[in-house]
A and B are shown apart, each in its own frame.
Chain A
Amino acid sequence: MFRPIVFNEEVCTGCNKCVDVCLMEILQPNPEKGKPPIVAYPDECAYDGACWMHCPLGEKGAIKVVPPLPMRVSILRGI
């Protein structure tokens, strides 16, 4: 199970700006308003970070982009 995009439910307000801007169209708005989006297609994430860039609460950790573990095992494990 790959988790390229991790939301912090405490911080995310479900504004869905990330859903709007995702290039690969992998995010979908949660049926429950105010909840973080659903990562419908985690295997298609391009790791570009557009979702984080346009998240109004990105700095507060509402959304995190996590590169696959094989990509960071050598130098950057715990992020």
Chain B
Amino acid sequence: MTTWNEYVERNGTIPEWPYPIHYNKENEITTDVLILGGGVAGCHAAISAIRNGVKVVLVEAGHAKRGGSGGAGVDHWHGALTNPCSKVAPEDYTNAIMDCAHGYSNGIARYIISKEGWDTLLECEEMGVQIRDVKDEFKGADFRDEETKLMFAYDYKSRHVIRIWGYNIKPCLYNEMKRLGVEIYNRVVITSLLTEGGKQGGKVIGATGVNTRTGEFYIFRSKATIVATGGASRLFRFAPELTAASSMYGMNSTATGHAIGWDAGAEFVLMDQSGPGYFSGFGYAPYSMGNASNTYHGTPIVDANGKEVPWCDPYGRELKTVQERFLPSPGQRFQLGIGIRLYYYLDEYRLNDLTKDLPERIRKGEFTLPLYADLTRLPELERKCIFGMMVGNEGKTRIPIYDQFTKAGFDPDKDLLQTPIMPPEAYQNSNYWDGMNMPHIRNLSGGGFLVDWKLGTSLEGLFAASGVSIFGAGSHGESQTTGRYAGRKAAVYAKTVPRLTMDRRQIETEKARTYQSIRNNKNGVGWKELNYAIARVMQDYCGKYKNDLTLYHGLRLLNELKENEAATAYASNPHELGRMLECFSLMTLGEMIMQASLARKCSSLYLDFYRLDYPEMDPPEWQKLLPIRLEENKVRVRELPLDFHLKPPHASSYEENYKLHAK
């Protein structure tokens, strides 16, 4: 027995909605620190804030136990620069990232992450996460340190990325939150920020939300608020039933924080960086097919005749041994690794990889498809680590990959794992399961809230955490680390400010907006159709190549959707209502990206941003940030130098700024 239809068939009746519905019923919750988003960032922020002696409320759209992109697990942790085995200093790491990104990343967040990433991981260990090889399963491996029992990923010499058993990392955070007394509201989709006087640009004093089971309205009153709502995996496509589309990211994630922040008048940067088409969703589920990247870094790839594809260093030199794949080359200081939301690597910091001319060599007939991942050619401990420890702990791979493959009889000691069969050019990127990158199916990429050295946004009382809510910050480890930092900053702030009164008019306006689709005619479109229409507009009008006209058309169409189909869309129950509200956030997000794209009148290699009307690539006068925000509902753009965070009013070095603001 499985689906709704089967229930109806069997019982002859439709199941009633299982929860009591009370649309419009208000629940008012008062707290010191309010955290929006119960992913790993939000949860660690909650723990950090409550340990600083304030009342904390956390709000999550799904369930905080497994919510967010990191909920299902994680196999390696970036940012552990201060771990006892690391050979890389935080400042060198930060500078390396900023150099690779040509300045288009977030030096503040990256430095905080590199200073506190290891400490944050140690706290996870205290909460019950296994971060070392305590069972000595990998004793003697070249990726393991004998004394600390830490295991490393990617660069076994520099040792700054740690392999962890993160399968249970989320429940550990959740249990700690409960133990400390964090008040958690699950199944609540946030719909707006509340501001002082109800004004756009005013101090943030709370938020509103709706419960996706009961339809009840929630009014949260807070002294400090942290946005930790993560990314938007449903902006350019959404079809999980066909392809587990974009299931790598949290599918609940629709960057609600970005949308409500925008409406409240907060400032954003790098929204024009809409990201190359990774995880376009028309490949395969993460790690489910043979590949040689990320979790599978170093994996031997062979063709149908067993001929191995060579590995090369970033300078094109062929590597002779397996060991070399995990070491920096002459000319490199250290390798950065994958999974830090960095889209462009300088050779100096790039990982070793399969030979870059593989597509050509397939075309020429040197390598015959299909290709296979041949783990049998790896040393035993590396093999056991990859298909075993890593795939057993990474998000969304334990059940659909590790468990099911093993039950089906896959034995990495004996068997090969076929890669997808694709056009030769698709083999350019060793992340084969992702399929062919589609230029028009993109991602919300490095764009997010502009933050200061306290991870405060441009709105007073509002902080940001997570690798995505903050611009240019990173992924899992980075989300937890920035969460922990923002949590303590928000707590300190909350202790110094009075509680302000809510603006009743703002709440009433928000309530009316929230429940519109429940009241509409049943003939209105459903949320999923709307989601896909938004995605269609984004694919066409905000794809890889843009010009002023296409962007104006895109904005016009999003606005027309907003005023027509979205205004009359119908939600038949609280679940659909929540999804509909998420679609409204997506429309706002699309608008933000298009507006930011209009503002940048040049093309940029580093932003993967191409203007057909301004084809000049990274001209010097355009190498800057373009913060955007709404002021009296009009878009305002200004300029910031790429190194603004090291210029007045900030101190001139990372360490100086950190010393001034971190504690």
Tell me the A residues contacting B by CB distance below 8 Å: 1-7, 9, 20-25, 28-31, 35-36, 38-50, 52-54, 65, 67-68, 70-72, 74-76, 78-79
Contacts and interface: CB of A to CB of B under 8 A. Distances in A.
A55 to B, nearest CB: 11
Given A5-B2, A71-B284, A21 B241 contact: no
A70 B71 contact: no
Contact of B3 (A1, A44, A50, A74): A1
A29 B244 CA distance: 24
Contact of B418 (A65, A68, A74): A74
A18 B575 CA distance: 17
Contacts of B16: 31
User: What's the dominant secondary structure at chain A's contact region?
Assistant: loop
Contact of B399 (A25, A44, A53): A53
A45 B241 CA distance: 7
Nearest to A29: B18
A25 B528 CA distance: 15
Given A40-B575, A46-B244, 19 more contacts: A7-B2, A23-B68, A24-B62, A24-B251, A25-B62, A31-B15, A31-B16, A39-B3, A39-B4, A43-B240, A45-B240, A46-B396, A53-B72, A67-B404, A68-B241, A71-B284, A71-B288, A74-B289, A74-B420
Interface in B177-219: 187, 212-213
Chain B interface size band reads 35 or more
Interface string B373-405: 000000000000000000000011011100011
B2 A41 contact: no
5 closest Cβ pairs, A-B complex: A49-B399, A23-B62, A50-B66, A48-B72, A46-B251
A58 B5 CA distance: 24
Given A71-B284, A71-B288, A79-B408, A53 B242 contact: no
A23 B251 contact: yes
Contacts of B24: none
B85 interface: no
Contacts of B72: 48-50, 53
Nearest to A12: B1
User: What's the dominant secondary structure at chain B's contact region?
Assistant: loop
A46 B213 contact: no
Contact of A7 (B1, B66, B252, B396): B1
Contacts of B122: none
Interface string B401-432: 00011011000000001101100000000000
B88 interface: no
Contact of A68 (B244, B399, B421): B244
Nearest to A6: B2
Interface of B: 1-5, 7, 15-16, 18, 62-63, 65-68, 71-72, 187, 212-213, 240-244, 247, 250-252, 284-285, 288-289, 395-396, 398-400, 404-405, 407-408, 417-418, 420-421, 528, 575, 578
9 contacts: A23-B62, A25-B212, A25-B575, A38-B15, A40-B4, A46-B240, A47-B396, A53-B399, A76-B408
Contacts of A76: 288, 404-405, 408
Nearest to B404: A79
Contacts of B285: 47, 67, 71
A39 B390 CA distance: 30
A67 B400 contact: yes
A49 B65 CA distance: 13
Contacts of B575: 25, 40-41
Contacts of B405: 76
Given A68-B243, A79-B404, A25 B213 contact: yes
Contacts of B251: 23-24, 44, 46
A47 B244 contact: yes
Nearest to B67: A23
Looking at B1, B285, B289, B420, the one whose CB has the most chain A CB atoms below 10 A away is B1
Contact of A47 (B2, B7, B400, B578): B400
A36 to B, nearest CB: 6
B1 A35 contact: yes
A1 B4 CA distance: 11
Nearest to A45: B240
A44 B238 CA distance: 9
Given A28-B18, A39-B4, A75-B417, A44 B240 contact: yes
A68 B418 CA distance: 18
Given A24-B251, A31-B15, A47-B285, A67 B63 contact: no
Contact of B288 (A3, A28, A67): A67
A5 to B, nearest CB: 6
Nearest to A36: B1
A53 B71 CA distance: 11
A70 B242 contact: yes
Contacts of B15: 28, 30-31, 38, 40
